[in-house]
Chain A
Amino acid sequence: MKILVVEDEKGLAESIVDYLTKEGFICEVANTFWQADEKVSLYKYDCTIVDLTLPDGEGFGIIQTLKKIAATTGIIIISARNTLEDKIKGLEIGSDDYITKPFHLSELNARVKSLIRRRHFGGNNDMIWREIRVQLPSRKVFINEKEALISRKEYDLLLYFLSNIDVVLTKESIAEHLWGDHIDSSDSLDMVYSHIKNLRRKILDKGGKDYIQSVYGIGYKFSAS
């Protein structure tokens, strides 16, 4: 899976590339509009991550080019502009997702994976990790082929974990993934805790192993080790 990261802030581009490389993606970086334009015309990517504000142009231009020459490429916009108009414009022009800066790398990773799943398998495949199988279209979860009855939020949480295996997820990033940024109260962290507790119990009930590890003070990690 090849991903192009178009971001002028070198440090941020590097972080994204590091993170996604660890997740098994092949990443390339473009720091300017023209670099991105050239790469997009020369190579084929499965997914492009585009920053809207570039020193020599608007990210919208790259999306338009992409739509013309490679319609199957998934496009995710990352931007500091958080107005509704920008988001609508981004989606209208053909991008698949819009993430506002600052974002969590784990969130970006989950969105990239979800986008690739949708693009390549039409969302019609199962996600299998060890004894856990997630049936994506019907939103059902099977542990050792036994169905576990989990709530909507628990499903979202499990999918987020499965997209970020062996990665420490902060409580804040989990809370934001589940409820968006409209809930800013400290209660959301308690809610993360209770959802994790429930999810862990439901997996254990069906004979699954306890993969959710708590990382002191910071968050949680889904790992087999």
Chain B
Amino acid sequence: MASLVTYLAVGLAFYWIIKYMIYDEVESRLKVEKRDFETYIRQHDTWTNNSYFVENKIEVYPITGNFKNEVIFKDTVITNRYEGNEDPFRQLTFYTLIGGIPYRVAIRKSMIQSYKLIEAISAALITFLGLLMVCMYVFHRRLSDKLWQPFYDTLVKIKDFDWTQNKKLELASSEITEFNELGDVLEKMSGKMQYDYKSLREFTENASHEIQTPLALINARVEQFIQAKDLGKDHTYWIEEIYHASRRMSRLNQGLLLLAKIENQQFTDQEEIDLSGQVESKLRDFEDILSHKQIKVTMRSQGIFRKVMSLSLADILLTNLLNNAIKHNLHGGEITIETGNRHLLISNTGHPLKADPESLFDRFKKESTGAESLGLGLAIVKQICDNYGLALDYQNRENIHSIKIS
């Protein structure tokens, strides 16, 4: 499109330039003739109107009354005496005195040759430019097909590249230096990505190990300590506090590590999971606590919600959602689980929400100030949903809180 516009613009420009140059030439010749005419008049002070020839025709007319002494160029058309054609002429009109009488003098020059010239040049130009354009187009097509082939190959390979796998990115070398350089840079970058991912993963695991081991030691020592028979009331209280704090810390550590692992997409196993069935079997694990809190559970199934995801993550997702629905429930409250082909909705009765619903899924945002709550459960839920492109929606109507996954 752009080349077509350029093509037209260049064609027009050429046409105007040639036309301007021809006019300039004709006009300068007309001016020379005018000077010859004036020299002749000055010497002879007379003119015989001999207007037989078409070319170089000079017309002299006497005029009466006022006239403006001006020199005018204009295009005109004169009928050919023999063929009856109308031929284009360029005419120079000026006024002069011959023998004391004012005359209007018109000198003409035929443009017929010049027009033919313009036409020929324009036609040649348009043809050549058109040919050039077609050639350029074909050449470009072939060039991009052949020249860019290695680039497209690279692109396909990058799209398929998965840095969580150990398979290295290997690009075929091409004849083009730039693509080879690009390939080298990409290979280096992908190598670094895989290395960083691996070390991050190792770090996560090592950090987990390094922190859990001293915590295990604290726990073990406290457990041994409480076996002592002569503990005072104060001591038991302190020990209990230490014990609680270390349990809490280890759970916090585990929660944060889990979040980091989900964020790093380290759960790569995938299978199709029937979330509706999964939630039902999960409920059995919660039987005791449900009967303890006298919570009534209603299942409403309108379909089976299937999703391809990691089994461990699906399990964590449902555990956290159910845990949340139980923890924030009232004694003797209700839980409604609704499953459809495209969604899972868990709603529970509970106290009205005090915090901002937007921040409900943020880390360490907790509704209850109870020390038992870590404030990570729903953040983990959100992270899992984000990983699998599931929409997470919270709604609160009166005392019913609903979380919908779709």
Minimal Cβ-Cβ distance residue in B for A221: B227
**B7 proximal to A (CB < 8 A):** no
Q: Of B209, B215, B237, B373, which one neighbours A81 at CB under 8 angstroms?
A: B209
Asked whether A12 is an interface residue with its Cβ less than 8 Å from the other chain, the reply is yes
Which residues does chain A contribute within 8 Å of B269, judged by CB atoms?
85
Taking the nearest CB of chain A, how far is it from the CB of B264, in angstroms?
Answer: 12
The yes or no answer to A149 lying at the interface (CB within 8 A) is no
Spot the interface stretch: A24-32, A69-77, A100-108, A126-134.
A100-108
A190 cross-chain contacts in B, Cβ below 8 A:
292
Q: B22 in the interface, Cβ–Cβ < 8 Å?
A: no
Distance of B371 from chain A, by nearest CB (Å)? 8
Interface size on A, residues (CB 8 A): 46
| A183 touching B286, Cβ below 8 Å | yes
B221, B233, B247: which contacts A15 (Cβ < 8 A)?
Answer: B221
Shortest beta-carbon distance from A201 to chain B in Å: 17
Cβ-based interface call for A80 (8 A): yes
| Chain A CB within 8 A of B391 CB | no
B213 A101 Cβ-Cβ under 8 A: yes
Give the size category of B's interface with A. 35 or more
**Contact, CB under 8 Å: A186 / B372:** yes
A12 with B312: CB separation less than 8 A: no
Residues of A within 8 A of B209 (CB): 53, 80-81
Which residue from chain A places its CB closest to the CB of B243 in the assembled complex? A170
Residues on A with beta carbons closer than 8 Å to the beta carbon of B373: 185
Contacts of B223 in A (CB 8 A): 15, 19, 104-106, 170, 173
Q: Is the CB of B323 within 8 A of A184?
A: yes
Q: Is the CB of A185 within 8 A of B236?
A: no
User: Do B293 and A187 touch (CB < 8 A)?
Assistant: yes
A16 at the interface (CB under 8 A from B): yes
Contacts of A153 in B (CB 8 A): 288
Indicate if B122 sits at the interface (CB-CB under 8 A).
Answer: no
Contact A19 B224 (CB under 8 A): yes
Query: Closest Cβ of chain B: how far from A52's Cβ, in Å?
Result: 9
User: Given the interface contacts A182-B323, A186-B370, does A15 sit within 8 Å of B212 by beta carbon?
Assistant: no
6 contacts between A and B (CB under 8 A): A15-B220, A15-B221, A167-B227, A168-B226, A185-B323, A191-B292
Given contacts A101-B212, A215-B226, A218-B226, 16 further A-B pairs with CB under 8 A are A19-B220, A81-B208, A83-B261, A85-B269, A102-B215, A102-B218, A104-B219, A106-B223, A153-B288, A179-B285, A181-B251, A182-B319, A183-B289, A184-B374, A194-B292, A218-B236
Which residues of B are at the interface with A, using a C-beta cutoff of 8 A? 205, 208-209, 211-221, 223-224, 226-227, 233, 236-237, 239-240, 243, 246-247, 250-251, 254, 261, 269, 285-286, 288-289, 292-293, 311-312, 319, 323, 326-327, 370, 372-374
